[in-house]
Structure 1
Amino acid sequence: MTTRQKFDNDLEELRLNILDLGKIVDQQIGQAVESLVNQDMELANTVVAGDLAVNDLQAVIEKQCILLIATQQPFARDLRKLVAGFKISIYLERMGDLSVDLAKLTIRIGQEKLIKPLIDIPRMSILVQEMLNRGLKAYIQEDCESAALMALTDDEIDLIYSQVFEELRLIMMKDPSQVTQANYLLFACRFLERLGDYCTNIAEEIMYLCTGKRMDLNE
């Protein structure tokens, strides 16, 4: 096997590990929101416990990137693949952390009666997961155009967040006894909004991988 073939094989292994990490995080997000909607403490605890697997796999990816940079001294597009892959893994790990934060809100609320039907939070989660899966596919295929479109979905998430923020603010003003749970739900929406931002960051790394230029998709 030539040095180039081995390097290509190592890059493919790296891509597959990042894809696996993304799939785990996608599952974590879905389960965290499901636990909140159904007030499922067992599922929430499963999400919290699952953070270890996310951290472990991100650490493996980090070591892969560092080793390849140190031993292969890549340049141009090859170097961008490693830099982008490393940063995407960091964003995915942070998304996993936010999923745990969401699950912990389920535990804090417990079996207390919900102050409103949770409709918008699952909507935000669906959009976030759509962004994430589009991003993972765009990363594997190095699809710059598909990555750029992710910012449009992030705008939808931001709009829902603004609407829910106002709704919960009015609930707190009308009934101060609901302030604690309303704040928990606000945190949940905020976490989902941040998840959308991280997906946009992933899209920016894909753009960098493809073009070699840094772009701000939030402009």
Structure 2
Amino acid sequence: MPVREKFDFELKELKQKLMDLGNLATKSLKLSFEALEKQDIDLALKIIEDDTEADMLEEEINDFAILLIAKQQPVAIDLRRIIVAIKIASDIERMADFGVNIAKSAIRIGKESFITSLDRLKKMHELTLEMLELSLRAFNDEDVLLAKKIAEMDDEVDALYGEIIVNLLKHSNDNQQQVTQFSFVARYLERTADHATNVAESIYYLVRGRHFDLNN
């Protein structure tokens, strides 16, 4: 196999590893909120147990990327693809961690009756999950327009986060444990959205060759 052809194959392999990591993060976030909603402790425990898979895959991506740089000494956009892969892997792994954190909150709440509706929290979760899925598609297609859309959705998530915290403060005398855990869940989702925006910024850098703050 010619050198360039082999390098292109390895870049595709690196991209696929990142997509696999993204799928693990998506699964973690989907199932963790399901565990919270259904108060399914067994499911929450399984999410926590499965988290090592995402950790190991992030390490594998980093090692693979560093080896590519050492072997191929890439320049220009090829080098950016590898650097961006390392950065995006870190952001995606953090998103998977937030899924684990939500599962831990589900365990701490347990089977208690909820003190408030989860409607806003569910909407926030749906938006955040969509941002993650769009960020993966934008990375795969190197689509800066889609990346910009992700940043715009982050404003909606931030607004919902504010509404949820205000609502929870009204219930601060009802059940402090639940207020605390639901506040944590909202924060985990807000941070997940921030990391999806980070991915969007990395895509912008990959395609345009310069950094751009999509939060402004």
Q: Which residue of 2 aligns with 1:117?
A: 117
Q: 178, 202, 213: which is aligned to 1:216?
A: 213
Q: Which residue of 1 aligns with 2:81?
A: 81
Q: Which runs of 5+ in 1 are unaligned?
A: none
Deviations 1:145-199 (A, max 9, x none): 1111101111111110000100001211xxx241221111000001000000000
Distance 1:35 1:53 in 2: 19
Which structure 2 residues correspond to residues 41-190 of structure 1 after superposition, within 5 A? 41-172=41-172, 176-190=173-187
Q: Partner of 1:171: helix, strand, or coil?
A: coil
The answer (yes or no) to whether the contact 2:44–2:103 under 8 Å persists in 1 is: yes
Deviations 1:78-116 (A, max 9, x none): 000001111000001111111111100011111111111
Distance 1:121 1:26 in 2: 17
Amino acid in the other structure paired with 2:185? A
Q: How many angstroms does 1:201 deviate by?
A: 0.3
Q: Which residue of 1 aligns with 2:37?
A: 37
| Residues 1:204 and 2:201 are matched in the alignment | yes
Q: Identity of paired residues, percent?
A: 38
Distance 2:51 2:121 in 1: 21
Distance 1:148 1:122 in 2: 24
Q: Partner of 2:171: helix, strand, or coil?
A: helix
The answer (yes or no) to whether the contact 2:138–2:144 under 8 Å persists in 1 is: yes
Distance 1:121 1:37 in 2: 10
Distance 2:176 2:45 in 1: 25
The answer (yes or no) to whether the contact 1:33–1:121 under 8 Å persists in 2 is: no
Structure 1 stretches of 4+ with a deviation exceeding 2 A read none
Q: How many angstroms does 1:128 deviate by?
A: 1.0
The answer (yes or no) to whether the contact 1:207–1:215 under 8 Å persists in 2 is: yes
Distance 2:165 2:129 in 1: 21
Normalising by structure 2, we get a TM-score of 0.98
Q: Which runs of 5+ in 2 are unaligned?
A: none
The answer (yes or no) to whether the contact 1:139–1:206 under 8 Å persists in 2 is: yes
Amino acid in the other structure paired with 2:22? G
Distance 1:180 1:19 in 2: 36
